[in-house]
Chains A and B, each alone.
Chain A
Amino acid sequence: VCVRVCVRVCVCACVCVCACVCVCVCVCVCVCSSVPQPKDDFQEELVIRPLHSGDIYASFQFRTLWETDFMRGNKVSHYRLFPKSLGQVISKFSVRELHISFTQGYWRTMQWGQPFLPSPPGAELWVWFQDSVTDVDGTWKELTNVLSGIFCASLNFIDSTNTVQPSASFKPLGIGNVTDHRFLRYATLPREIVCTENLTPWKKLLPCGSKAGLAVLLKSEKLFHSSFHSQAVHIRPVCQDWQCKTTSWELRQTLNVVFDLHTPGQGKLEWSLFKMFSRTLTEACPLASSSKIYIDITDDPQGEQFEVSPATHLLSQAMVLGDRRTFSVYDLTQQITFGTVRSLNLLIRWKSRDMLRPLLHAERYVAGYGLQTGEIHTLMYNNHPYRSFPVLLLDSVPWYLRLYIHTLTVTSKGKDNKPSYIHYQPSKDRVRPHLLEMLVQLPPNSVTEVTVQFERALLKWTEYTPDPNHGFYVGSSVISSLVPSIVAMDTNSTREQPLFSSFFPCKEESSYFMRVYTEPLLVNLPTPDFSMPYNVICLTCTVVAVGYGSLYNLLTRSFQIEEPSPGLAKRIANIIRKMRGVPPL
């Protein structure tokens, strides 16, 4: 994309006739030169995957690639496809990588398989800062405040009590050999609610907004009436070519949603774009270089059990989540996709199908009784029949659940399983949370259980939320691992491939990266009765008033004899006697 800069050069010649009429002739020449602008590129795609339980999983990805340099204080001021608000955030806070997600609902791995982009319930934010930052904690605090304004979320509640610095999980997903985890910060807000006010600014970051392209499908009334909804923004520097001679900045906006079969009330295994989003597609985003819809037809390529209309002959194969899957492709940049009615409403009909069991999934729950102690159990399932693989477990527990690390046990198949790497940072009251990272080898076809006991703390009465009887949330555990894959994965990340298969960089051919989040926990802390201060004041004042008042009266009261006032007859008699001059009765 070149910007033409034109300079106009005018040469005027005036001829005066008759000393009063001048005729001027100007010859203007435009000299244009092309000034190269940094290249930016926008792609959008939608992947639809029918799920085993009858639900349907739709994943939107919008990617903007921009060949520019935000690092080392470079001043960037001409924005085209890349949103200016995020560009300014990156420059001002020297951000190297930023990943933020807002999720409503919990991803059910056993029923739905693996998501393309996992995310925990609530809000999650992790950032790698550049090594030029001197005060990482201060910059982190300012960054969370600015992001809370951009995304209309309460991210300003992220502070040192819920921020950790993981040492092994959350390695950079973009280029960079930064391994000093002093520049990494990770925080979750499991209580954060996601609603239209978070979707509105997210949509405004897209180049076409929600006016054209795939983003017209993003209507909040349908998106939030679902089993799972997650929207995220990922910013990282990536290589443009195999040798990594040029780098560019990648902004990915992703939205994952799982629609429940039974919500619209029909119950048939039949889905269409209109049924899911209450909209159909009429055009691609004019600023997009590629705009595609992929429908996963792997389980039934012949079309016996599975029907997609309008039919398409474009097929594509991609290696995703350790499996080679086949997709029907609809290219929205071609006018023919929309047919004669000029609108695209995909209809997908299938009979129930088997699902490949996910290789890794996890659960977590709180055991115990009462309001004093408890036990956190994390179960990790390895469903591979003969391969074992290591997983990295990251646990961040708030300070008011005091973990007793000497009670930490890791057992697989009933036997003790010692982790090969443990990084534990104890909590400090009101300053920082517990951080526990462990590398555990999961034996094949087994369940590994991690248990740790804790004690609940009593908070100061001003530290309770306005609704303390709801309970307090503990953020999800993160389990990251390289899972052995069935097919050989593609390690060349710069090759042209669909967006959903190119998010996590692939370093080896025999395994792929997977991240699994457990459920957040809801624990009750011993809660005082907040009406007690008022009760105590009333009681004390009453006791003091009654006790002191009675004592005062007893000590200071003196008794006097008083004549009662006489009745009416006696008063009249006294008046007559006074008139007669006789003493009264």
Chain B
Amino acid sequence: FLGEQCCTMKILTLLSLLATHLSASSVNIEENAGQFFSSGHTNNWAVLVCTSRFWFNYRHVANTLSVYRSVKRLGIPDSHIVLMLADDMACNHRNPKPATVFSHKNMELNVYGDDVEVDYRGYEVTVENFLRVLTGRLPPSTPRSKRLLSDDRSNILIYLTGHGGNGFLKFQDSEEISNVELADAFEQMWQKRRYNELLFIIDTCQGASMYERFYSPNLMALASSQVGEDSLSHQPDLAIGVHLMDRYTFYLLEFLEDIHPSSKANMNDLFKVCPKSQCVSTPGHRTDLFLRDPGSALITDFFGSVRKVEITMETINLTEPIQQVDGSVSDGSSVVPPGVHR
């Protein structure tokens, strides 16, 4: 009867372990669910802009494309990315390897890829078009791929790179956007409820001056250098003949390559990217307008994508027969059975 006792003891311990595991995992599920909705956003958008023209500004296009690549890899689809490249480097006749843009020397990583969709290119990248995309005031015949169709539950990532100075960013060597205009554009976006939270990253010389004038809530900003400092480029490739990337974005790309869609890394890790020893300039950030604690904002809140999932306790009957619509079905209209939510 010892054997029986052992058996029952075993069964009891197994059952108790199972019960604790179940309760623990259910708590885990609730925690996960809670964290899932803590940021309050339901969709993600990205606006990635390279503002420089000419072959020797290859690195700015490579910067933008490496952020594009990371953002696509982490889940944001092309329909939610507005990519603006002011010049074509990949099919430029000076490019020794056409249809490629490299970020690492010795041609290790082709950030251009085989599946890229550029929405604004060449002469279309102007200050006016950029501000129209942000504020949504586009002519009615603008196609969807060129619009930022965000709503009040969208988290938007805005990345700018190019040549800049104290309070301005140069577009295509012929016009500038000032930090006041940018701040006003974000305020327009806030008043029209076009974003839930916005992350602004800028990689130019004296980049911190561009976020000094922000005054709308829920904005977080990062820059590659302080006022009075220059952002430096990373490394040249002797075969291509130009510098391939800027330092800040190079280390940002390295950091993002380690992030996967379910990563729990938060914004404090992002602020540590590229310290002065690696970047030579001092990266800066601004979080006073951001209502949440940056430590609770995940990287994937801005760089990744969210699938809208609604957990419901309602039961839905799927076994009712599909009803025929009046007339023939040959015109191909789809039939929605009653009682099934779309």
Contacts and interface: CB of A to CB of B under 8 A. Distances in A.
B54 A149 contact: no
A224 B98 contact: yes
Contacts of B118: 152, 197
A501 B141 CA distance: 38
Contacts of A146: 141, 143
Given A193-B88, A466-B172, A5 B331 contact: no
Interface stretch (A160-168, A215-223, A363-371): A215-223
B169 to A, nearest CB: 15
Interface string A205-232: 0000000000000011101110000000
Contacts of A200: 114-117
A466 B332 contact: no
Contacts of A145: 139, 141-143
Given A196-B99, A197-B118, A466-B174, A224 B328 contact: no
Interface stretch (B2-10, B119-127, B189-197, B246-254): B119-127
Contact of B114 (A5, A104, A219): A219
B330 A36 contact: yes
Contact of A221 (B97, B115, B143): B97
Contact of B330 (A35, A195, A221, A530): A35
The dominant DSSP class at the A interface is: mixed
B122 A154 contact: yes
Nearest to B329: A5
Interface string B122-142: 111000000000000001011
B144 interface: yes
Nearest to B144: A149
Interface string B284-323: 0000000000000000000000000000000000000100
Among B54, B90, B333, find the residue whose CB has the most chain A CB atoms closer than 10 A. B90
Contacts of A504: none
B80 interface: no
Contacts of B142: 145, 149
A467 B143 CA distance: 27
A195 B115 contact: no
A153 B88 CA distance: 12
Interface in A430-467: 465-467
B269 interface: no
A134 B145 CA distance: 28
B122 A225 contact: no
B100 interface: yes
B327 to A, nearest CB: 11
B194 to A, nearest CB: 20
Contact of A225 (B99, B114, B116, B173): B99
Contacts of A467: 53-54, 173
A224 B53 contact: no
Given A3-B330, A465-B123, A149 B143 contact: yes
Contacts, number: 99
A152 B114 contact: no
Among A78, A154, A196, find the residue whose CB has the most chain B CB atoms closer than 10 A. A196
A277 to B, nearest CB: 13
B114 A220 contact: yes
Contacts of A156: 124
A77 B99 contact: no
A154 B139 CA distance: 15
A78 B100 CA distance: 38
Contacts of B333: 77
B324 interface: yes
A225 B98 contact: yes
Interface in A160-204: 191, 193-197, 200-201
A430 B145 CA distance: 29
Nearest to A8: B321
A370 B106 CA distance: 45
Size bracket, chain A contacts: 35 or more
B79 to A, nearest CB: 11
B91 interface: yes
Contact of A466 (B145, B173, B321): B173
A473 to B, nearest CB: 12
Nearest to B119: A152
A29 interface: no
Contacts of B100: 221
Size bracket, chain B contacts: 35 or more
A37 B91 contact: no
Interface string B57-100: 00000000000000000000000000000001011000001111
A209 to B, nearest CB: 11
Contacts of A225: 97-99
A538 interface: no
A460 to B, nearest CB: 14
B146 interface: yes
A154 B99 contact: no
B211 interface: no
A400 to B, nearest CB: 16
B53 to A, nearest CB: 6
Contacts of B88: 193, 195
A487 B272 CA distance: 75
Contact of B332 (A78, A141, A191, A219): A78
A311 interface: no
A150 B144 CA distance: 9
A196 B112 contact: yes
B334 to A, nearest CB: 9
A466 B123 CA distance: 8
A77 B331 CA distance: 7
Contacts of A191: 122
Interface string A126-160: 00000000000000011001101110111011000
A224 B91 contact: yes
Nearest to B175: A466
A221 B146 CA distance: 26
B54 to A, nearest CB: 7
A393 B99 CA distance: 35
Contact of B143 (A5, A150, A466): A150
Contacts of B112: 196
A32 interface: no
Contacts of A78: 331-332
B143 A195 contact: no
B34 to A, nearest CB: 39
Contacts of A466: 53, 123, 172-174
Nearest to A193: B88
A195 B90 contact: yes
Contacts of B115: 200
B99 A197 contact: no
A197 B141 contact: no
B53 A193 contact: no
Given A149-B143, A157-B123, A195 B99 contact: yes
A7 interface: yes
Nearest to A153: B121
Among B99, B144, B173, find the residue whose CB has the most chain A CB atoms closer than 10 A. B99
18 contacts: A8-B321, A35-B328, A37-B330, A142-B141, A145-B143, A148-B143, A149-B144, A152-B121, A195-B99, A197-B117, A220-B114, A223-B99, A224-B90, A224-B91, A224-B98, A225-B99, A466-B174, A467-B53
5 cross-chain pairs, A with B, having the tightest CB-CB distances, nearest first: A149-B143, A78-B332, A195-B91, A466-B172, A145-B141
Interface of B: 53-54, 88, 90-91, 97-100, 112-119, 121-124, 139, 141-146, 172-174, 321, 324, 328-333
